[in-house]
Amino acid sequence: MSQASLVPSVVAIGLLWGGLSASAGERTLTEAEYERIRPAKTIYMDIAFTTWMPRGKTLADVAPSLRTSLASAGFTVVRNSTESHDLTLKVDYREERGEQYKFDMYGTDITCVIQLEHPELGPLLDMTIRESSANPESGTPPYLETLERFQTNPYFYFLGQFVRASITSRPDRTGVLLQSLQRLMDNESRKSDLHRPDLGDGMLEMVHGETLYPLLVRENTIRELGRLKDPQAVPLLTTLLGHGNRQVRLLSVRALGAIRVDEARPAIERVAQQDGDREVRQAAAAALAGLPGSSQVP
C-alpha cells in the first residue's frame, strides 16, 4: 500500500546516502490532538515477515529489538491484540534476493515498512527502511552484512524515540537523531564505568540493551546528520571534533563540511591544524574550502 493511498495527510520524506535508505512520513496534528495522545503508554506490534532464504530460514528477529527500542522510549509492548493498548505498530519486514555476485552467491535486499496508528486519529508515522548488500569482497557473507546494516540503521535502532516524538509534538527528525545520538554516547560512557558500585540493576539493563552495535550506529547517525544538512546538528558535531575516536572526528568534520555553515569554521580550523590524524586534518581542510566565503585552504 502506498503512502498516498494510506492517508493523504501523511507527508513523504525521502532519505538516501550510501547503504542507508529510509523514507518517513509524519502527520501534523493539532495541539488538541497531541494533548490527547501524549499519555499513550502501551503499544501492540503487528509484525509480518517474508524472506527469500531457503525454507524461510532467517537470522533476523526484529521483534526483540523493537521491544527494546520502544521500552527505552517509555512504552510497554503488549503481546496480544486483545490486550488493551493505545497504539498499534505495524511492521512489514521483507527480505528479497538481491544482486548475484557469484553463481551461488546472492545479496539480500531488506525492506521494512513501519506504520504507527492510533485507533481514532489514524496513521501517525509512516516509515520505510531499506538496506542492501554492498561489499561482497569484505569477507562477510552478503546476507549477514545486510542484516548488520539494517540493525545499525539509526531509523530502526532509534525507532522508539521516533515513535515517542510522533505523539509528543511536531516531528523533528534531526532533533530525534541528535537526542538519540547523545543518549547513546552517554550510555557508552556509563558502560565504561560499570565497575562503579552505585549503578543499579535497572541501569545495567538499559546499558546492555542499547549497545548491541553502538559504534556502527554512532557512525551511521553522524553520516545521516551530514546528509540531512540541518544546521541544528552543528553544536554536537563540533563537540565531537574533540572525540578520542579518530573515526568519530573524521565523520563529524565531513558532516560539518556537508552542512556548510560558517559557525563551524573556528572548530574546523583547529582540527585542520592540530588533529593528530593526517586523514582527519585533510578532511578538515577540504571542509574549510567548502565553507561560504572560503577562497583557499589555509
Are the beta carbons of 129 and 155 closer than 8 angstroms?
yes
Q: Examine the domain organization and report whether 138 and 28 are in the same domain.
A: yes
Residues 127 and 230 reside in one and the same domain: no
Statement to judge: residues 88 and 124 lie in one domain: yes
Residues 18 and 163 in one domain: yes
Residue 295 lies in a domain: no
* CATH number, domain containing residue 233: 1.25.10.10
Q: Which of 137, 171, 205 is the last residue of a domain?
A: 171
Residue 12 belongs to what domain range? 3-171
What was the pLDDT predicted at 25?
67
Domain count of the chain? 2
83 within some domain: yes
According to DSSP, residue 138 is labeled: G
Sequence letter at residue 185: M
Those residues whose C-beta lies under 8 Å from the C-beta of residue 34, and which sit 6 or more positions away, are 167, 168, 169
Rounded to the nearest angstrom, the gap between the alpha carbon of residue 2 and the centroid of all alpha carbons in its chain is 22
**Residue-wise pLDDT tens digits, 235-244:** 999 999 999 9
| Residues 83 and 103 grouped into a single domain | yes
Same domain, 166 and 211: no
Residues 187 and 154 occupy one common structural domain: no
**Sole residue written with cell 557512525:** 219
Decide if 136 is inside a domain. yes
Considering the domain architecture, whether residues 161 and 29 belong to the same structural domain is answered as yes
What's the alpha-carbon Rg for the chain, to the nearest Å? 21
The pTM (predicted TM-score) of the whole model is: 0.84
pLDDT < 50 regions, the chain? 1-19, 194-211, 296-298
Q: What CATH number is given to the structural domain containing 100? A: 3.30.160
* 125 in the same domain as 200: no
155 with 184, same domain: the answer is: no
Asked, for residue 273, whether it belongs to a domain, the answer is yes
Torsion angle of the four alpha carbons 101, 105, 109, 110, in this order, in degrees rounded to the nearest 10: -150
What Å distances lie between residue 213 and 108, 237, 296, CA to CA? 20, 20, 39
The answer to whether residue 153 is domain-embedded is yes
Is the residue at 297 inside a domain? no
Q: How far apart are the C-alpha atoms of 288 and 294, rounded to whole Å?
A: 7
CB atoms within 10 A of CB 1: 9
Asked which of 139, 171, 203 is the last residue of a domain, the reply is: 171
In a domain, 213, yes or no: yes
Statement to judge: residues 99 and 187 lie in one domain: no
DSSP conformational letter for 264:
G
The Cα-based distances of 295 to 70, 288, 292 in angstroms read 48, 9, 9
Domain stops at, among 112, 145, 171: 171
| Residue 126 shares a structural domain with residue 20 | yes
Beta-sheet strand order (sheet of 76-78): 10-17, 20-27, 122-132, 105-118, 87-102, 42-50, 76-78
Q: Which positions ≥6 away from 292 have C-beta within 8 Å?
A: 260, 261, 262
Q: Is residue 122 part of a domain?
A: yes
